[in-house]
Structure 1
Amino acid sequence: MEESTPSLTKGRPNKRKLPGGDQGPTGKKGRPSSDITANVKLPAHGYPLEHPFNKDGYRYILAEPDPHAPFRQEFDESADWAGKPIPGWLYRSLTPNSVLLALHDRAPQLKVAEDRLAVTGEKGYCMIRASHFVTRGNWYFEVTIEEMPEGAATRIGWGQEYANLQAPLGYDKFGYSWRSRKGTKFHESCGKTCSPDGYSEGDTLGFLICLPETGPNRDYMPNTFKDRPLVKFKSHLYYEDKDKITEALKNLKTVPGSKILFFKNGKSQGVAFENINGGAYYPAISIYKNATVSVNFGPSFKYPEIEQRFKCKGMCDRVEELICEQSLADMVYFSDNDGKLRLDTFNL
């Protein structure tokens, strides 16, 4: 099925057209329907095949009704909300139940396999991130180079949410990568030799990130997005969040004790990066031309001894952790904003 992207422009008006041409979900008597996505079935891997891409300075987070939201019944029964947007706090970000390559968080020209565990490039360098991120602890995933035609190349590693999708990983301050050609490692477009012979078709690569469990001025709780506007696209609701790249760059600080290691066919290539920038990191892949790679987020790795040696977790173990963290973040939001939500609900 062909995917679509929302039309986003600068100078956004107060009453702008939402992605996909929808003006917001409504129920009977023009009232917002709080269960617009409740009966819309998602594909097997939990993400709509038609979706808005993260691009043009905006990010889109798939939402679902939050059954634990306070005053939900009052909202559903109130006529005061007729024709008004649904409050974001009545929903919650949908946390994926398995770690896969993200359909929406990628350059649109990349082709993702149906099982979302392989990706093929096209023309110039562009990138895709995984569906889950990590903020602390030791985490590992593997990538196998399935096809590497002459002239193609890859840069693979770890990237933050603001790493440029239309550039190779390691192009900016938000990513750290290992290139197939000459085995060069990249961060902020600065390349240094990591492994003398690089890697090629048939190789299985390992990527380990080590982030301290604790540290000063570090916030590990994920964003709830409940204060963001909801937009409708193809029968699904998404939180719309504006990129804050300038602010993020100013707040970047290195984390003492953090490091990234690369492995080739089970053999360590040494510590590639130390004291990396703090933040949330996603497994990330960038491809030049039509190379194809497959990913393994666990639990069955080709080289399981790496987990034992470095006492790390496979990315698959991040699923339950993130669900718990997201639930906690939502509860904190409700606790901090109880009075405001009560006023909004009863229109006082």
Structure 2
Amino acid sequence: MRLKGYKNLLEIINKRTSVEEYLMQNPEKVPKHLKQQSLFLENKLGDNNRKVIMDKDEEGIVTSFPNKEVNTNKFAIRRKTKYIPILKHKHEYIEIVYVLEGSFIQEINGRQIEMNKGDLCILDKNVVHSSLPLSESDVVVNIILTPEFFDGIFMHLLSYDNYISNYIVNSLYAKSKSQNFLLHHVKDDSVIKILLENLLLEYYSTEIKSSAAINGYLLILFTELSREITDSTGDLIKDEQDQVKEKILAYIRSRYKDTNLNKMADYFHFHPSYLSSLVKKEFGKNLKDLLTDVRMAEASKLLKNTDMTIENIVYEVGYTNFSYFYKVFKKTYGMTPNQYKTNLIKNSKLKAK
């Protein structure tokens, strides 16, 4: 049965959990500092399907991993537990924090941020964050998404939007450790608010969630976020995008001999599908053709300025198949490397006279 609007949603979503009942009855159990008791209580008293999988890294920071439910469905929505602080931690999944009612304070990468009703925060996989306790009147939800959620058509569609590609897809889906996060205020009359409410209504209305509906809401949500971000920070994002383009070109020029899509994706911490779309969008050609252009330009330079044999030039610019190099070179310059070299010599002698 579908919930009847926002008021009905709040009634369902705001019911006290077993953890909150325990904390209300045992206020002395609420830790005064951000210690591990917070997640311990969640695990001890919470729903078995929602138990948190935790581990500490070499710096002692707790990392939360997707549990069985999240791995199976590739997404989950949780209301943030009240009355208890959450320790400093990070996730091996993506988290969208949205304040439905009230406010709360969280610390992100050492920066204390107050989030109020309508505020939304997107946290990348490796962002270290913590939060102070929520009060009775505060209602905050966490939308959890695994990187795999963005696979297939969802990732493909997102990659064609400049601003979504540059921040959201790169930040959320990349294999990066750059600790990105994004803050945005959702206005009362915005499409984003309608999308978020419908997403929550879909999730909490039935036991069997519609992945297709949730997928669709999230796709439109990210698209609308992209548009609003563009309006407010478009120039900054464009500058960053230009810098990424320059870095990609510099990388290709320095490593054209032996690179490929996967190596390049690892270097830039991009997903290969995203990198492929980004190269196509920024340069107007695919990575293979871009590499060919750079290799042919380098081959031309070596023919002009060195006495290297053509065979050595073939290997120097990253080819192992001699006949294939000849084929590509002739297609590029309209003549074979030997003919190209002969023409260079002739032109040099004519200039000398």
Higher relative contact order (CA 8 A, sep 6+): 1
Query: What is the TM-score of this pair, normalised by structure 1?
Result: 0.26
Judging by fraction of residues, say which structure has more strand: 1
Judging by fraction of residues, say which structure has more helix: 2
